[in-house]
Structure 1
Amino acid sequence: MTTPAVLVTGVGVRCSTASDVAGFTAALRAGTCGIRTVGGDTPGPGPRALAPLDDVDLDTELAAVSGLPETLRRSASRAARRSPQPVRSALLPAVEAWLDAGLHTAAVPGDRVALVVGGTNLSARYVFEQHRVHDRRPAHLAARYALHVQDTDHVGTLSQVLGVTGEGCVVGASSASGGAAVVQAARLIECGAADVALVVGALARLGPLEWQGLSALGALAAPVADGTGEWACRPFDVDRRGFVPGEGAACLVLESAASARARGAGALARLAGYAQRLDANSLSDPSAEGEARTMNAALRVAGLAAGDLDYVNAHATGTPAGDAAELAALRQVLGDESGRPWLNATKALVGHCLSAAGVLEAVATVVQLRAGFVHPNPALRQPVDEAFRYAGRTARPARLEHAMTTSFGFGGFNTALVLSRG
């Protein structure tokens, strides 16, 4: 049986540098950095580097969306009023991707649409806030707490707003959750369980325990000396010191080529290949061998050789061990072609968006494939390994046909996606 081609027909994003795809494209091209030093109302002691996402005034932002049907606007607005911040943040990119794919005008039956949310432990900050309410007056705990505290609240709310009645699930793979969600959604399309699949990378807003735990692990970058926080995340630089958490949410609409043809939808890109592999390791230390195995497997699925890649959007968190392992893996995969594809890291601009990172960085990859550029990494001053073709301090025009984006997570989770021009 021939496996159906899987296309990207819609994208949506919201992060520290932009509230939609048009703004995200401009911010990527300009090298706009959303990282800054925060404190005060952020849980935990002392200043820290963060790429924060402002709270959503969904009614105002929905009113500004061109072409949004009134019934969909009302449904999203009602859902927002009773949802916590992580779900509200996912609504906007999901609606944007839905419109971008034209699903509001050339509808697919609801039971042929699937919904896969990437991320687990998404409610840590919400739990912390509600715990304080409970400590003061237990009876004042929100009546819907038992629903909102579950990650599946994203699936329930988004499916209700968009009328999705096909398969739905939450996929957890640590920081590779977004990539794993794309893999799961693609398989649903390939096996015929769905014609369309929304993949949502959900906002993971850290609570004080998570901040402290990551700090104790030695994974977090400190704010830079001038107090702005900008350039605290330095992927592939000899001066890299850790990762900077980012807040964001993103959505990809995946669709079978047959479905897209039938309703006249254009392809933004093609998901040419993918892979997910484990390292058999419960700890946080990365494995170059495991990452290389995963990238090679994705290339095999795509039917491409390493020399066919024009661009790699690397996981590249800015941690000493993580970046070293990824560069070693890329050397294994690319071999003599190491200096050919452009190499950059979107986390340098928007921080590490944790559960959402894999989907958000896939959107960034699609944007660059279509617009023909590679975004800069302005914080990269002295590369660890000069063998690679790093993006510089300004955007570069580039004819990109095939790109790879990677996501790796604590506990030995590895994912790689290969995206090709539509």
Structure 2
Amino acid sequence: MTAQRPPLSPDPRVLVTGMGIVSAIGHTVDAFAASLEEGRSGIRRLEPDLGSMPAAAIGAAIDGFDFEGLLGRRAATPEPLVKAAQRVARRAPFTIQASVIAAIEAWHQAGLQLSGVAGERIGLVVAGHNTTRRYQYSLGRDFERQPQYLSPKYALHHLDSDQIGVLSQILGIKGEGMVAGGASASGNVGIIQGLRLLRLGLVDACLVVGVVADLSPMEWQAFHGIGALGGKAFADQPERACRPFDRRHEGFIPGQAAACLILESDESARRRGADGLAEILGGATALHATAFTDPDVDGEVRAMRGALRDAGLEAAAIAYVNTHGTSSPKGDQVEMEALRAVFGQRFPDVWVNATKGLTGHCLYSAGVVEAIATIVQFRRGFIHPNLNLEDPIEPAARFSGAAAIRAPVRTALSNSFGFGGINTSIVLRACARGRGSPTACPIAPSASGRNRRSAS
């Protein structure tokens, strides 16, 4: 019987050691990063393929997804892992296949295929819920005609937990697993849950996988019916439709991405000599007690302040905010008010942008996508454009413009807010580059709070 390592000490520092993504602006992290820096949008007019869709069907869909091809392009991935992915996911729905590709990229970057952590000490959080709507819708007509021919695999595939089963089998994950849902805040909810698992010492590493939002015509029509979608004034110019914080914003533009972060305690990363790409310093969730869709300044402020408190930082330590920024008139305005309240006199000094202007609103995976975008900007020393920002609703804000700005930053907030009054924020910090330097984010002891981090 193989001896197991003892559990790591609880409340460790939590690093990001791997990232993976499949999105409308890149099928790898490198391609995604290049699109961010170049300001390349994935938003376009979409052709309906499952029936009627709203007249202004504009979005950022994943194009050219080829499961076998994307597996084959990862030449350094061990053959047993490739074969396991093919065996388990070859016939799985698109949303699961995209999660697998993103997870394998992150797994490879973290080096877990070479110097692994015991499967019993790896956790898995799937961020997203109600993720099989299009898959179910696509089977509806055939089921009405011939219900007896419904595939037995549907009993598994229609459940969000199928993501857990598939990913855990391919990667040999045997620790804790869960589905974490929070509407458009699901990605951040998943990151916060992974952070907590690591702090409690229940796992040494944790995959957080944001699931693709693959909407059926019913979801498109529902969002259209409540006036949430944008694009009406830009039906002939879809690339201009997503306009976070611009006075001509009309509503959100759906986007697609599967995204994965591997969170790991710095003790585990140190043992393996793994790179720390960034540190997750803290996070918080705050409800504002509503069954409706309206955003709330107080709820957003409490989430940001709670994340800062959890991180042991003052607002003055934050250099950049990756906003929720959906291009929704009320949502954008409320977030600006909340940022003013949190940063006070420093508000005009903090860089602000919205990744959704390039990717569309990726819904369930948005928080994970935007955490990756934040880390990419840390590591490459730029702030990506805030596309279509021609007449800002808040002139005092330090928005990025139509092109990327060279502006090295080391600390950031990333916000995600969801229907149901779910407000979330996480705090990230850059780590020094270089093999074997996962702990190059110094911590200074504090007389109050958990750990008061240095803002340098």
Query: Could you tell me which residue of structure 2 aligns to residue 415 of structure 1?
Result: 424
Cα distance per residue 1:105-161 (max 9 Å; x no partner): 011000000000000000000110111220121122122001000000101000011
Counterpart check, 1:283 vs 2:264:
no
Map 1:139-158 → 2, pairs under 5 A: 139-158=148-167
The alpha-carbon deviation at position 43 of structure 1 amounts to 4.0
Tell whether the 8 Å contact from 1:17 to 1:24 is kept in structure 2 after alignment: yes
The alpha-carbon deviation at position 225 of structure 1 amounts to 3.8
Tell whether the 8 Å contact from 2:301 to 2:338 is kept in structure 1 after alignment: yes
Counterpart check, 1:111 vs 2:120:
yes
The alpha-carbon deviation at position 40 of structure 1 amounts to 3.3
Counterpart check, 1:35 vs 2:27:
no
Map 1:100-249 → 2, pairs under 5 A: 100-222=109-231, 225=234, 227-249=236-258
TM-score by length of 1: 0.98
d(CA) in 1 for partners of 2:24, 2:156? 27
2:62 equivalent among 53, 69, 79:
53
Map 1:336-375 → 2, pairs under 5 A: 336-375=345-384
The alpha-carbon deviation at position 378 of structure 1 amounts to 2.4
Give the CA RMSD over aligned residues.
1.2
Which consecutive residues of structure 1, in runs of 5 or more, have no partner in the other structure? Answer: none
Tell whether the 8 Å contact from 2:89 to 2:166 is kept in structure 1 after alignment: no
Cα distance per residue 1:353-404 (max 9 Å; x no partner): 0000010110101111111100001211110011110010000111211011
In structure 2, the CA distance between the partners of 1:40 and 1:207, relative to structure 1 (3 Å rule), is: closer
Query: Could you tell me which residue of structure 2 aligns to residue 399 of structure 1?
Result: 408
In structure 2, the CA distance between the partners of 1:416 and 1:37, relative to structure 1 (3 Å rule), is: same
Cα distance per residue 1:13-68 (max 9 Å; x no partner): 11101000000110000000000011231543334111011363211111111311
Tell whether the 8 Å contact from 2:45 to 2:58 is kept in structure 1 after alignment: yes
Query: Could you tell me which residue of structure 2 aligns to residue 15 of structure 1?
Result: 23
d(CA) in 2 for partners of 1:230, 1:103? 39
Which consecutive residues of structure 2, in runs of 5 or more, have no partner in the other structure? Answer: 1-8, 432-456
Tell whether the 8 Å contact from 1:147 to 1:153 is kept in structure 2 after alignment: yes
Map 1:293-312 → 2, pairs under 5 A: 293-312=302-321
2:11 equivalent among 3, 22, 32:
3
d(CA) in 2 for partners of 1:222, 1:395? 24
d(CA) in 2 for partners of 1:92, 1:2? 31
SS at match of 2:428: strand
d(CA) in 2 for partners of 1:392, 1:140? 54
d(CA) in 1 for partners of 2:95, 2:52? 19
Residue correspondences, number: 422
In structure 2, the CA distance between the partners of 1:226 and 1:49, relative to structure 1 (3 Å rule), is: closer
SS at match of 1:10: strand
d(CA) in 1 for partners of 2:203, 2:123? 6
Match of 2:158, as an amino acid?
Answer: V
Query: Could you tell me which residue of structure 1 aligns to residue 435 of structure 2?
Result: none
The alpha-carbon deviation at position 300 of structure 1 amounts to 1.2
d(CA) in 2 for partners of 1:372, 1:194? 32
SS at match of 2:207: strand
d(CA) in 2 for partners of 1:43, 1:294? 39
Query: Could you tell me which residue of structure 2 aligns to residue 25 of structure 1?
Result: 33
Query: Could you tell me which residue of structure 1 aligns to residue 83 of structure 2?
Result: 74
SS at match of 1:260: helix
Tell whether the 8 Å contact from 1:44 to 1:211 is kept in structure 2 after alignment: no
Tell whether the 8 Å contact from 2:56 to 2:235 is kept in structure 1 after alignment: no
Tell whether the 8 Å contact from 1:111 to 1:164 is kept in structure 2 after alignment: yes
Match of 1:49, as an amino acid?
Answer: I
Tell whether the 8 Å contact from 2:50 to 2:138 is kept in structure 1 after alignment: no
Match of 2:404, as an amino acid?
Answer: A
Match of 1:366, as an amino acid?
Answer: I
SS at match of 1:406: strand
Query: Could you tell me which residue of structure 1 aligns to residue 443 of structure 2?
Result: none
In structure 2, the CA distance between the partners of 1:280 and 1:100, relative to structure 1 (3 Å rule), is: same
In structure 2, the CA distance between the partners of 1:43 and 1:270, relative to structure 1 (3 Å rule), is: farther
Query: Could you tell me which residue of structure 2 aligns to residue 379 of structure 1?
Result: 388
Consecutive aligned runs of 4 or more in structure 1 exceeding 4 Å deviation = none
Query: Could you tell me which residue of structure 1 aligns to residue 437 of structure 2?
Result: none
Cα distance per residue 1:77-106 (max 9 Å; x no partner): 222222001101111110000001000001
In structure 2, the CA distance between the partners of 1:40 and 1:389, relative to structure 1 (3 Å rule), is: same
d(CA) in 2 for partners of 1:23, 1:55? 14
Query: Could you tell me which residue of structure 1 aligns to residue 99 of structure 2?
Result: 90
d(CA) in 2 for partners of 1:216, 1:153? 30
Tell whether the 8 Å contact from 1:223 to 1:229 is kept in structure 2 after alignment: no
Cα distance per residue 1:266-301 (max 9 Å; x no partner): 100000111111111111000011001110111111
Match of 1:264, as an amino acid?
Answer: G
SS at match of 2:21: strand
Query: Could you tell me which residue of structure 2 aligns to residue 269 of structure 1?
Result: 278
SS at match of 1:339: helix
SS at match of 1:26: helix
Counterpart check, 1:329 vs 2:374:
no
Tell whether the 8 Å contact from 2:10 to 2:199 is kept in structure 1 after alignment: no
The alpha-carbon deviation at position 223 of structure 1 amounts to 5.1
d(CA) in 1 for partners of 2:60, 2:266? 36
The alpha-carbon deviation at position 229 of structure 1 amounts to 1.1
Query: Could you tell me which residue of structure 2 aligns to residue 292 of structure 1?
Result: 301
The alpha-carbon deviation at position 226 of structure 1 amounts to 6.2
Tell whether the 8 Å contact from 2:10 to 2:201 is kept in structure 1 after alignment: no
Match of 2:329, as an amino acid?
Answer: P
2:263 equivalent among 231, 251, 254:
254
SS at match of 2:178: strand
Match of 2:240, as an amino acid?
Answer: W
